[in-house]
Amino acid sequence: MLTPADTALVIVDVQGKLAQIMDEKEALFHHLATMVKGAKVLELPILWVEQLPDKLGSTIPEIADHLAHLQPIPKNSFSCYGEPAFVDALAATGCRNVIIMGIEAHICVYQTVRHLLDKGFHVEVIADAVSSRKAHNKVIALEKMQQCGAALTSTEMVLFELQGVAEGERFKQLLSVIK
């Protein structure tokens, strides 16, 4: 079971015009925002990554507005793990469990998941918070990531797993985020 003490959230490349052409983008944006708000309630470390921000633009406001206390980590490799600043930031969290969301599922999310698994992390892909331009690429990416050892989860599933109990102020805050 995941716990907030040893789990980090990684947000991959939800940027500019590319984000606007994702399959089922409205549902994607909703789940991404819900997950960010929930991660803040649970006080998870959040690593926010942008692919070539000078060319692809900034993270969409639906996400960035909830991350004003953080700075994105720029990268040029498809895998977040190819960026030393990401590797250092993840190491600084001390977490060995990573939950991951973003775009595109079959490129940057997939390659990041593979590297994290290769480095011994337990990785869970938030299936309703990843997407690709074409639906079939997301389906194939989820299948391949699972075959490689990643677990699949959903926004609500992982938030309630991390919460663990149906009591307390944090639980009430989480319910308001999910509703």
Active-site residues, by number, are 13, 75, 108
Rounded Cα–Cα distance for residues 93 and 21 (Å): 32
Pick the closest to residue 123 from 170, 165, 178, 81 (CA basis).
Answer: 81
For the chain, how many residues are written? 179
Pick the closest to residue 125 from 102, 107, 91, 108 (CA basis).
Answer: 102
Provide long-range contacts, Cβ within 8 A and 24+ apart, for 30-33. Answer: 31/101, 31/126, 31/128, 31/129, 31/154, 31/155, 32/62, 32/63, 32/101, 32/102, 32/129, 33/62, 33/63, 33/66
